[in-house]
Structure 1
Amino acid sequence: MFSYRHAFHAGNHADVLKHTVLIATLEYLLEKDAALTVVDTHAGAGLYRLDGDYADTSGEAANGVLRFFAKAKTDVPLADAIERYLAVIRDFNPRGGAKIYPGSPFIVQHLLRDHDKLKLYELHPTDAKTLDANIAQLDAGRQIAVLREDGFLSATKFLPPPSRRALVLMDPSYEIKSDYGRVLDFAGEALKRFATGTYAVWYPIIPRPEAHDLPRRLKTMATKAGKSWLHATLTVKSSKVITEPTGEVKRPGLPASGMFLINPPHTLKAKLAEALPQLVERLAQDRNASFSLDAGG
């Protein structure tokens, strides 16, 4: 149950997509003065070293965020959403480069104002302990709550918040296929409790029926509730399993991921329409790289 560690995957192409969308969404919501509550159902450790043992083992950041810190092959300016994402990464690396990678909790906290709130859930015992230690360094007082609970079971207790403004991020590991159904159950309950909240779901695009059903079922849920929605995907390589002449089977790793938002900012589609083609160009690992962007409601 507790096998997944995001430290092995920090800064990969899925993080680039997720955090580019998260920052663009959050900055829009922070334009209003009223307090915002952000709930992260699967917070992880919060901060990651890209030059540490975990990241070195997988090397995924090399084909993710680190590509933006290599020498650019083009003089074309980056899209605003990508620039904002990279600006946040640079804030955590004042000496240059990207040795430190902030997870969603630290990205959110970095952008929040003093009167906003952040609720973080993490069940993995090692990551929860690390998250506690990392958050303690911020001296954020009561702004941040770290809860060693199942976010899918108890995060709805914060909905609606007193200010009636909230962003909820759901990004479980999906190592257990029941996570797909739990995302749907949680999102449905959250919408019933707080219909005007903004809900963001990250998910992997892999050869599993549940992964392909999830965005379709979220779209149906949003449409039935009369809510707007946005669905963005980023594919960086083929998902095909290759068998070498030697008989060795090579699996591609994660080829693609998606972000589905209910009640997204009205500005987000235009920002992603500019950013996604550039993410494909920078992060492509083979000729199968592509993106999709759809919205409704």
Structure 2
Amino acid sequence: MLSYQHAYHAGNFADVHKHLTLFAVIDHLLRKASPITYIDTHAGRGLYPLAAEETARLQEYQDGVVRLWQARNRLSETPLLGEWLSALGRVQDQDNRLDYYPGSPWWLSDRLRQQDSLKLIELHPVEHGHLMQQSLPSNVQRLHGDGLKELDRRLPVKTPRLCVLIDPSYERKDEYDEVARTAIKAMAKVRHAVLLIWYPLLPSGRHRELLDALRTGGLRKVWRSELIRPASLGQQHGMQGSGMLVINPPWGLEERLVTAMSAITLLLGEAVRYQHDWWVVE
């Protein structure tokens, strides 16, 4: 099934949660000089004009990134948010106008160093076509294929460090199990990897299958955060929240993200809640 295109949902509250987490992880990884391989298994098209037909149809960005952008002067007092909003501003044509929302390929490539490499994988032919048109550094490789299979095939990597983002659409019920099995296998191959997994919170509760499988999969250190937003406040097919798992999170990540998410939670609506916890297996 290849019906999902993220352009319809770009910049929504889940994107803010996901990309702020990714940004913070990258920030911590860059504190060391050793090379990093980044792999994005479901890359999408990379950059989303908010005026594009697909994105403008639902305008989910209005209840997501737009709220942060409008409050950016105040939010910039929080260090992580200030850095994220400053980066977001570099994508825009004009300083005070929000015209674009960058997807994970941009957030990953923006601070890519010469010694690092980035593999962007996308299966949807239309999305991959858009991705191929993006201007990206020479150490970025764009691949048309199944992200989970490509990840398994390309591990281990040659660099001493690895960071992976797994961010599927979960259109198919089987994807929850496939993501769990792929993540467990990847961590067995590269135990020091930092692996991020995004998942939706839906009324069906299928994300629990993913969480239960990972809990029993031998992963030793996992940090979970969830931005819970009742579906009545949004438009994305009853999505009630956004979940992020960070396996092997860098030290200090939790504190910075909790501070940042606490600062923006009220902007997204009084009913929005943010929660987080650790899974540690001795």
Tell me, yes or no, whether TM beats 0.5.
yes
| Structure 2 equivalent of residue 59 of structure 1 | 59
The separation in 2 between residues aligned to 1:215 and 1:188, in whole angstroms, is: 12
> Given the alignment of the two structures, is residue 260 of structure 1 paired with residue 256 of structure 2, yes or no?
no
Give the 3 Å change call, closer, same or farther, for CA 11–295 of structure 1 in structure 2: same
8 Å contact kept, 2:202–2:238: no
Once the two structures are TM-superposed, the CA of residue 239 in structure 1 deviates from its matched residue by: 6.0
The separation in 1 between residues aligned to 2:237 and 2:3, in whole angstroms, is: 20
The separation in 2 between residues aligned to 1:64 and 1:251, in whole angstroms, is: 12
> Could you say what secondary structure the match of 1:264 adopts?
coil
User: Over residues 106-131 of structure 1, what are the superposed CA-to-partner deviations in whole Å (9 max), with x where a residue is unaligned?
Assistant: 11100111121000110101011110
Give the 3 Å change call, closer, same or farther, for CA 157–88 of structure 1 in structure 2: same
| Structure 1 equivalent of residue 78 of structure 2 | 79
User: Over residues 252-288 of structure 1, what are the superposed CA-to-partner deviations in whole Å (9 max), with x where a residue is unaligned?
Assistant: 632211100110111111012212222211112xx43
Q: How many pairs were matched up?
A: 279
> Given the alignment of the two structures, is residue 236 of structure 1 paired with residue 221 of structure 2, yes or no?
no
| Superposed structure 1 runs of 4+ greater than 3 Å apart | 74-78, 238-241, 250-253
> Could you say what secondary structure the match of 1:181 adopts?
helix
8 Å contact kept, 2:123–2:146: yes
The separation in 2 between residues aligned to 1:270 and 1:253, in whole angstroms, is: 30
Larger radius of gyration: 1
> Could you say what secondary structure the match of 2:164 adopts?
strand
| Structure 1 equivalent of residue 156 of structure 2 | 160
| Structure 1 equivalent of residue 102 of structure 2 | 102
> Given the alignment of the two structures, is residue 199 of structure 1 paired with residue 195 of structure 2, yes or no?
yes
The separation in 2 between residues aligned to 1:60 and 1:133, in whole angstroms, is: 24
The equivalences for 1:144-159 within 5 A come to 144-159=140-155
The separation in 1 between residues aligned to 2:75 and 2:127, in whole angstroms, is: 39
Give the 3 Å change call, closer, same or farther, for CA 76–53 of structure 1 in structure 2: closer
> Which residue identity does 2:89 align to in structure 1?
R
The separation in 1 between residues aligned to 2:100 and 2:232, in whole angstroms, is: 29
TM norm structure 2? 0.92
> Given the alignment of the two structures, is residue 125 of structure 1 paired with residue 148 of structure 2, yes or no?
no
| Structure 1 equivalent of residue 91 of structure 2 | 92
> Which residue identity does 1:268 align to in structure 2?
L
The separation in 1 between residues aligned to 2:183 and 2:161, in whole angstroms, is: 16
Give the 3 Å change call, closer, same or farther, for CA 229–110 of structure 1 in structure 2: same
Structure 2: 5+ residue runs without aligned partners?
none
Once the two structures are TM-superposed, the CA of residue 80 in structure 1 deviates from its matched residue by: 2.4
8 Å contact kept, 1:23–1:85: yes
8 Å contact kept, 1:13–1:63: yes
| Structure 1 equivalent of residue 50 of structure 2 | 50
The separation in 2 between residues aligned to 1:217 and 1:8, in whole angstroms, is: 30
8 Å contact kept, 1:10–1:61: yes
What is the RMSD of the two structures over their aligned residues, measured on CA atoms? 2.1
Give the 3 Å change call, closer, same or farther, for CA 151–77 of structure 1 in structure 2: closer
| Structure 2 equivalent of residue 181 of structure 1 | 177
TM norm structure 1? 0.88
The separation in 1 between residues aligned to 2:162 and 2:62, in whole angstroms, is: 33
8 Å contact kept, 1:171–1:202: yes
8 Å contact kept, 1:23–1:84: no
The separation in 1 between residues aligned to 2:32 and 2:239, in whole angstroms, is: 37
> Could you say what secondary structure the match of 2:2 adopts?
coil
8 Å contact kept, 1:215–1:260: no
The separation in 1 between residues aligned to 2:48 and 2:61, in whole angstroms, is: 11
Quote the sequence identity (%): 33
8 Å contact kept, 1:30–1:112: no
Once the two structures are TM-superposed, the CA of residue 99 in structure 1 deviates from its matched residue by: 0.7
